Amino acid sequence: MEPETKQVLLVDDEPELLAALSEFLGLDSDLYSVQTANSAQEALDIINAEDIYLVVSDIQMPNITGLHLLTEIRALHPHIRVILMTGYGTDAIQQEAEQKGCLHFLNKPFQVEHLRDLIRDEIHRKSEGFKGTLENIQLVDVIQMCCMSSVDMALVVTQGGTQGHIFIEGGEIVHASCENIDGEKAFYRILSWENGRFSTLGEKAGPKNTIEKPWQALLMDAMRMVDEMDVPEEETPEPESRPSTEIGDDRGINLLIVDDSAMMCRMLRQLLENEEGIGAIETARNGEEALQKIDTLRPDVITLDVNMPVMDGSTALKHIMIRNPCPVVIVSSLTPSSGTNILNFLQLGALDFISKPVGRENLEQKRDIILEKVRQAAKARVNNFKRVRPSRPIDRIIPPSDACTPCDNFVVVTSGTGGYAELIKLVPMVSEELNACMLLLQNMSGQLKRSFAEYLDQRSPNRIVPLDSDVPIAAGCGYLGTRAEQIGLQQRNGGWVLTQVPDFGNAPGKAGFDDLMMTIAETFTGKVLVVLLSGSRIDRLDGLKQIRDQNGTIIAQHRESCMVPDPLERVITADLVDMETLPNDIPAAIEKLMNC
């Protein structure tokens, strides 16, 4: 089937110029057809009758100007692209045109070839997604969808005779304007409108950057402001804060279990309901029911299944992170094909993952794991919840395993609850010039370890593989292991080898990490760096003390940036940390210490 030819409409009250432009642009008749109109009213008649793709219009015309034509097009036919031209342009007119959604603004005289190039670029622009009409949808949901898709886009929002613009670049809101207001104030004003119309302008860059706050925080602030506006002045309550959930207080951790399996809800409730520090436990059968209950129950932690009817876990998690930020732990079945899906949840803001109890699995041991992760999640800092924008997969030449260069520099990076996001950001940022071997440790199951290693390897300039067997300490290599594994270190054939013993319980309280630190301090003769990320549980400090005594270096993620900072407090208080730094600065610190 032949693709439909796009139509370009030229609008100008000067017949000679109109004819000349039409003739010249006719050279591209294989790409688009050209129609002409001598006035804005004639243009509107054509637009209402024809499927016009792009309009090129003069501004100074009798009766209806080009700016008024642009306003009508934006209101009635928001999908149509508009280029404006004028011989009487000023900065104020250009700014008004851009605010109304003009794609390009041309001052006469201009090179006609330039106009032709602009039109060709728009015609060739790849169509992305669907176009159509969305009704009964909130603007906040539209913006959330755009940001989570990491798109570049401009939104034109209209209410009555007022128009606002929101510019999104790379999934972040960078600029907003409404009448004479710019920045966050303009954004909040637009979000306060109860109804209206919106349209997109595609990949249109904002005229300037006036907003630096993350989009999640912007949406949460906007929704809070709207809620405050809805409360009558005489009934305005004091702002509520999430109550403390320190283990041992009388109230305990209020838990909401979200799962469509009544049997799984009952099993999780029975496992946890009589445990110390656990308060009220409620259940929901799907994401929609969970969202309805969150406002009234105000849970401290939510356990969330992935696959559910009505509203699945992914959609529910996105709504939770925007409307009612709360620690979320994914509790779901783990299959060889579900690892990538679990990682997507962790990037959207979930703190941790627990696989559902299976068959005759030791329920007492599983209870200990779930209980520990729920307790850790309850201590999370809600304000630090974040969505991770994933790095794109990269192309790199993978050297054969026997080509790895042995080295005497060793980096151990450990994380726990809330630390997946930091690993996802950190590992791709480490340079391929790193003269060290990395061991990455996280609390997770073996199946998720393989999926996570593959994910990191596709995005890292260094090779990342799961630690499933004895492997050499070699420059440019990274190994992903779990903190439940008993990992050792041996010297063989003049080099160093990491040895791995199968999972020995995965239960909280096992001192595998501390044992590894002791082994490294007593055995390894090279340079050692230990990096502690969010949620890194350290049961004993002996190993880290030995690392320091042997001139090793310990870096901790800055506590103010951690989703779960409590486990790091103990190490920092013991004066065992050489440097406390923000996540984005850790890769540079690793390279500086290892390559000097």
Provide the pLDDT confidence category of residue 251 given band limits of 50, 70 and 90.
low
Name the more confident of 191 and 249: 191
Give me the mean pLDDT over the 20-39 stretch: 92
Model pLDDT, residue 249: 47
Where are the domain boundaries for CATH 3.40.50.2300 in the chain? 6-124, 253-384
Q: Mean of the per-residue pLDDT values for the chain? A: 83
3-state helix, strand and coil shares in percent for the chain, rounded to the nearest 5: 40, 25, 40
pLDDT value for 203: 64
What pLDDT is recorded for position 243? 47
Least confident of 83-87, 423-427, 501-505: 501-505
**What is the CATH code for 6-124?**
3.40.50.2300
Lowest mean pLDDT among 51-55, 499-503, 589-593: 499-503
What's the pLDDT at 108?
84
Cα 447 to Cα 478: distance, rounded to the nearest angstrom: 18
CA 541 and chain centroid, separation: 34
Between 572 and 246, the more confident residue is: 572
In sequence order, the 6+-apart residues with CB closer than 8 A to the CB of 590 are 411, 430, 434, 436, 529, 531, 555
> Does residue 289 have a pLDDT over 50?
yes
pLDDT at res. 358 = 65
Burial level of 440, CB count in 10 A (0-12/13-18/19+)? buried
Average pLDDT over residues 451-463: 90
Domain 253-384: give its CATH superfamily: Response regulator (3.40.50.2300)
What's the longest Cα–Cα distance across the chain?
A: 89
pLDDT value for 41: 93
Rounded-to-integer distance, Cα 477 and Cα 470, Å:
13
Residue 114 phi, psi (nearest 5) = -65, -45
| DSSP 8-state class, residue 244 | P
Mean pLDDT of 275-292: 91
pLDDT tens for residues 153-179?
A: 888 888 877 888 999 987 789 999 998
List pLDDT tens digits, range 482-527: 877 788 888 888 888 888 765 444 444 345 788 889 999 998 888 9
- Residue 340 scores a pLDDT above 70: yes
pLDDT tens digits, residue range 345-394?
Answer: 888 888 899 888 765 556 777 888 889 899 989 998 877 776 677 677 88
Q: String of b and e for 387-409 (b: at least 16 CB within 10 Å)?
A: bbeebeeeeeeeeeeeebeebbb
Distance CA 407, CA 582 (A): 27
The 495-501 sheet, strands edge to edge: 471-472, 495-501, 486-492
pTM of the model: 0.60
- Please tell me the predicted confidence (pLDDT) of residue 112: 87
Pick the CATH number of 402-595 from 1.10.3720.10, 2.40.50.140, 3.40.50.180, 3.30.70.20: 3.40.50.180
Residue-wise pLDDT tens digits, 470-483: 888 888 889 998 87
Residues of the chain with CATH 3.40.50.180: 402-595
Mean pLDDT in residue range 309-333:
86
d(CA 337, CA 540): 36
SS3 labels along 23-73: HHHHHHCCCEEEEEECCHHHHHHHHHHCCCCEEEEECCCCCCCHHHHHHHH
Q: At 411, is the pLDDT very low, low, confident or very high (cuts 50, 70, 90)?
A: very high
Query: Does 531 score more than 90 pLDDT?
Result: yes
Share of the chain above pLDDT 70, in %: 86
Model pLDDT for residues 54-70, shown as the tens digit of each residue: 999 999 998 899 999 99
HSE, CB side, 13 Å, CA atoms: give it for residue 423. Answer: 34
State residue 401's pLDDT score: 57
- Residues 303-327 have a mean pLDDT of 86
Closest CA to 34 of 14, 17, 11: 11
* Backbone Cα Rg of the chain: 29
Q: By C-alpha distance, which of 457, 314, 328, 455 is closest to 385?
A: 328
Looking at residue 58, its pLDDT comes to: 94
